[in-house]
Chains A and B, each alone.
Chain A
Amino acid sequence: MTSMESGGDGGKWLDAHYDPVAGLYTFSSCVDLADLSGDGENRLVVGDLGTGSSGMKLKVYRGTALMSENTLLDLPAGLVAFFMDLHEPRIPTTAVASGPCIYLYKNLRPYFKFTLPSLEVNTLEQDVWQQAREGQIDPLTLKEMLESIRKKADVPLSVRSLRFLSLETDGLDEFVQLHKQQPIRRQTVITCIDTLKKSTADEDGVSCLVVGTESSDVFILDSKAFIILSKMSLPAPPTMMDVTGQFDVEFRITVACRNGNIYILRRESDKPKYCVELPSHPVGLVRVGKNVLVGCTDESLQGFTQKGKKLWKIVLPAPITTMAPMDLPTRGFQGVLVGLANCEVHLYRDKNLLSTIKTPDVVTSICFGRYGREDGTLIMTTKGGGLMVKILKRTVVFDDRDSAPGPPLAQSIRLNVPKKTKLYVDQTLRERESGVAMHRAFQMDLSRVRLAAAKAYVKALESSLTPMSASLSEPLKMNAVVQGLGPSFKLTLHVQNTAACRPVMNLAISFLYDENLYRIRDPYMRIPLLVPGLIYPVGTFVDCTNDKGITDIIKVFVLHEGRSSPLLTAHINMPVSEGLALS
């Protein structure tokens, strides 16, 4: 492994390995570190999501090299390594949760598959399929009946019925023939997985598996016999989970759910004990000591107590992509690593930023722990499939830079205010001396300007010169755009009805122009009904018939049927025609 100083974060980390084309596409929940062969050297176990539809693999890395690869059948939702028995040598088992099953691997070989119990099936649905099997009803009737069951029933339909309902009419018969013999089952899907020590808090004690499912349940499974030890239900499907304690003594499961709430489950009850309502959706959940840290979609990191009391909130510079705990028991250090969308990884202890790691790509998964024989190893995978390994320097000291007291930094920056010139001082003197005369002159000028403006305004209104009409019954607005190089121009008029809710009808457009200079293709156009608020483009073509480079104004009138005076007028200054000179 090479050791190179990385400058961005004050030299706290050593760059051990970076492979930008490792082809690892995964999230923090599918990465773990474990001593898979019992030789005291930790391996990296990754559930690779592949392309999302194919190429799902269970990969194991040793040092910088890929050690083994097992193909997975389905997308992994979570991966944990744990001890399921007390046999020597102490070799952990890898559990991969995907779909409704948990696949267990021992010594990197498939060992056991556990499927969650299926859910209760709607009896009506069962009856309907029974009838279909016996040929009493045709597929169309089946579809109608299933549709009505879906609307009314409390128990949701099975996946098969839902798939059937989404089919087109011509595929129905085939589907029924293919599937009608099998019994109906309703399966749930695992959303998150974690481990819980059974009775001892030892590092290598036997653990239970804790599984969260799409059906809003949390199961605790005994790892020896694979029976459900405990079942707890939540108000919403869980998405992330953190478990602490021992099953036989006391435990606490913190679950972030899809409804944006965090629930805390305890040993005694099968219902959540505490609930935290977040201001936005959680994207990461990490327990540090006795506090729970939650990263939210509003670019914030929030700290809560075990009982769900909010402690603090900090705003991050970019959206969070992933979070992972950083636990260094040898030095008594506990923190949280937060991957951000601006290609940075931040290390926080409580709300204090300790270190910033710049990465070449956006980090999607983070795992910190013992890798190989090195205790403080940070493993990250990137959006582009890269693998990055960094080692925490042994000499590093993290000092809390708490938010510095005193005035903010911006206060000491001088503003660039121009100096008051001597000229200005002279002018103020003049103002002071002859203030009254100046005021009088200004007031007189102002009255004159008001008069001039009012005169011009009245003239403009009388001849409807403005491009917006002032009348209350037809509040219209128009602007014209001329495009082209000539001799042919495209003239587009954008007409808009600015009334709140009344449409305008019976309008027409007409032009006034010098016929020696221009020819307009449609000199009279009718405008369709104008719905308020929308902009209606009305276009026509103007041909310049003159080659002397002379330009003129074209006047556009919007007219109302049966009225002689125009509603509004626009003057278009035509550009010089360039085209004739070319031909």
Chain B
Amino acid sequence: MEVTMDPLFLAWSYFRRRKLQQCSEICTKILHDNPYDQAAWSLKTCSLTEMVYIDEIEVDQEGIAEMMLDENSIAQVARPGTSLRLPGTSQGGGPTPAVRPMTQSGRPITGFVRPSTQSGRPGTMEQAIKTPRTASTARPVTSSSGRFVRLGTASMLTNPDGPFINLSRLNLAKYSQKPNLSKTLFEYIFHHENDVKNALDLAAQATEHAQFKDWWWKVQLGKCYYRLGLYREAEKQFRSALNQQEVVDTYLYLAKVYQRMDQPVTALNLFKQGLDHFPGEVTLLTGVARIHEELNNISSATEYYKDVLKQDNTHVEAIACIGSNHFYTDQPEIALRFYRRLLQMGVYNCQLYNNLGLCCFYAQQYDMALSSFERALGLVCSDEEQAEVWYNIGHVAVGIGDLTLAYQCFKLALALNNDHAEAYNNLAVLELRKGHIEQAKAFLQTAASLAPHMYEPHFNFSILSEKIGDLQSSYTAAQKSEDAFPEHVDTQKLLKQLRQHFAVL
């Protein structure tokens, strides 16, 4: 005779092994037999939540509405080092754009792609709605509708009988009295249904029931307020939760609120406070490093990433960021070490081999450079990645003086990714060397329109125009180049020369 396991225990076991689909199926059966089984109901909400759970702290992308219609920004011209919005407020620690390329928002490119490293703050509405080259999707309209709504509604499609819990018929007041059910119910509403307003209602009633003594509910209230864009209220809730109970998560949420309110210095202080209570906490250290990086203070960001590595020597983000910083500060051999470490840890993708190839080439380890690129080409999973690899091979070809190969590589990069502004720029220089002035001009114009944040196309166009005698175009292009990179000495020289030329009789 077969001994059947208690179905609830089996479901619980499935849940712990993260076989969430099976778990929820068993719970559905139990509930079919006994609709009032609270344990099964609770377990099912948990498993459904886990299926769509995403880390609230990490996922953070400012939508167009938040960025362009921001009510919280007061100071348009912030003092240097106090705002995340002005990319130019570097404290002198970072490399110049001549050494380290810039992203669209005017920050040096980072070694590790996170949701917020791509975004930056576009200057105009047109820039905001243009598809950025590096991310293959446009920006979400607002973070409270776009992505999150889809995550919530996707699960509804799989359920032919309609939703598991009908929120509109739910008596929130009743559930808020039951602490053992209300927490799982809240997470279900917040993560699975993505109904922030109902979640907020529930949390408000539950925290009242707990006589404002449960820090957990306060954090949840803060999360709801954050989602709704009520940052000041969220700050209040998180602060109050922290007074009751020191939790790393709460620190991270609160820092997120401060970053959204564009108060990086307050966020840094908060992280320091958190590090006093939780010394060596990796997530807090990473947070500090990220803020320093966004403030363009690369050298101190690197210091903090090094601290992260002391605590957790397999932290991919820290290794990648330190590696890229070494690469751009003229120490490719050390960068190579860091990337090799990533390889040893099992990161095995196109981007890594791409970086390895470049590091090998610039560290004069020529025997490994091109084979790394070949590996990278073998591992590509999208056209954009392939374009980047060809672009880098093109750089190597320029380095060894094989201009035919370089020309082919840049053209291939363009064939695979039509918006590759850097490739357009380099191709223009090659065309100019061949004497094809019209072609070079057209490419430079395209590069400048694709990436107005880069100074190179403007500067090259300026030089080209100056050579063919079109001083007016040269002057306007040089001014654009100066806007993109004010410290560029060659641009300054050219501008001075042009001004002299205009003043002479």
Q: How far is the CA of A571 from the CA of B136 in the complex (A)?
A: 13
**Prevailing SS type, chain B contact patch:** helix
Q: How far is the CA of A549 from the CA of B500 in the complex (A)?
A: 56
Partner of A485, one of B129, B136, B153: B129
- Interface residue B149 (Cβ < 8 Å from any Cβ of A): yes
- Interface residues of A toward B: which range? 35 or more
* B12 nearest CB across to chain A (Å): 34
Closest A residue to B125 using CB positions: A483
Interface window among A194-202, A327-335, A400-408, A454-462: A454-462
Closest A residue to B450 using CB positions: A479
Closest A residue to B140 using CB positions: A578
Among B146, B363, B370, B400: residue with most chain A CB under 10 A = B370
Partner of B150, one of A446, A449, A581: A581
* A447 nearest CB across to chain B (Å): 10
Task: Tell me whether A483 and B126 are in contact (CB under 8 A).
Answer: yes
Task: Tell me whether B366 and A498 are in contact (CB under 8 A).
Answer: no
Closest B residue to A441 using CB positions: B367
Task: Tell me whether A424 and B415 are in contact (CB under 8 A).
Answer: no
- Interface residue A418 (Cβ < 8 Å from any Cβ of B): yes
Point out the residues of chain B lying under 8 angstroms from A278, CB to CB: 505
Task: Tell me whether B408 and A483 are in contact (CB under 8 A).
Answer: no
Point out the residues of chain A lying under 8 angstroms from B19, CB to CB: none
* A431 nearest CB across to chain B (Å): 6
Task: Tell me whether A446 and B418 are in contact (CB under 8 A).
Answer: no
Are A570 and B418 also in contact (CB < 8 A) when A438-B366, A445-B370, A479-B450 are? Answer: yes
Point out the residues of chain A lying under 8 angstroms from B505, CB to CB: 260, 278-281
- Interface residue B458 (Cβ < 8 Å from any Cβ of A): no
* A565 nearest CB across to chain B (Å): 15
Task: Tell me whether A450 and B129 are in contact (CB under 8 A).
Answer: no
Q: How far is the CA of A445 from the CA of B372 in the complex (A)?
A: 10
Point out the residues of chain A lying under 8 angstroms from B418, CB to CB: 467, 479-480, 570-572
- Interface residue B76 (Cβ < 8 Å from any Cβ of A): no
Are A460 and B412 also in contact (CB < 8 A) when A297-B503, A421-B334, A533-B438 are? Answer: yes
Closest B residue to A443 using CB positions: B366
* A432 nearest CB across to chain B (Å): 11
Partner of A479, one of B153, B377, B419: B419
- How many residue pairs bridge A and B at CB < 8 Å? 170
- Interface residue A499 (Cβ < 8 Å from any Cβ of B): yes
Q: How far is the CA of A418 from the CA of B412 in the complex (A)?
A: 35
Task: Tell me whether A575 and B334 are in contact (CB under 8 A).
Answer: no
Task: Tell me whether A448 and B146 are in contact (CB under 8 A).
Answer: no
Q: Mark B427-440, 1 if CB is under 8 A from A, else 0.
A: 00000000000110
Partner of A427, one of B136, B333, B408: B333
Partner of B503, one of A298, A430, A445: A298
* B363 nearest CB across to chain A (Å): 6
Partner of A581, one of B145, B374, B415: B145
Task: Tell me whether A298 and B500 are in contact (CB under 8 A).
Answer: yes
Point out the residues of chain B lying under 8 angstroms from A279, CB to CB: 504-505
Partner of A280, one of B153, B449, B504: B504
Closest B residue to A570 using CB positions: B418
- Interface residue B311 (Cβ < 8 Å from any Cβ of A): no
- Interface residue A484 (Cβ < 8 Å from any Cβ of B): yes
Task: Tell me whether B409 and A453 are in contact (CB under 8 A).
Answer: yes
Q: How far is the CA of A482 from the CA of B138 in the complex (A)?
A: 9
Task: Tell me whether A465 and B377 are in contact (CB under 8 A).
Answer: no
Q: How far is the CA of A456 from the CA of B408 in the complex (A)?
A: 9
9 tightest CB-CB pairs across the interface, nearest first?
A445-B370, A298-B503, A575-B138, A441-B367, A442-B366, A465-B415, A576-B137, A438-B367, A498-B442
Task: Name 9 extra pairs, CB < 8 A, besides A450-B402, A456-B390.
Answer: A297-B503, A427-B363, A428-B364, A441-B367, A452-B377, A481-B131, A485-B64, A496-B445, A533-B442
Instruction: Give residues in B with beta carbon < 8 Å to A.
Output: 64, 126, 129-131, 136-141, 145-146, 149-150, 153, 329-331, 333-334, 337, 363-367, 369-371, 373-374, 377, 383-384, 390, 393, 400, 402, 405, 408-409, 411-412, 414-416, 418-419, 438-439, 441-443, 445-446, 449-450, 499-500, 503-505
Instruction: Give residues in A with beta carbon < 8 Å to B.
Output: 260, 278-281, 296-299, 418, 421, 423-424, 427-428, 430-431, 437-439, 441-442, 445-446, 448-450, 452-454, 456-457, 460, 465-468, 475, 477, 479-486, 494, 496, 498-500, 532-533, 535, 549, 551, 570-573, 575-576, 578-579, 581-582
Q: List 11 A-B contacts (CB under 8 A).
A: A421-B334, A438-B366, A441-B371, A446-B370, A449-B373, A449-B405, A453-B405, A456-B390, A498-B439, A533-B441, A573-B384
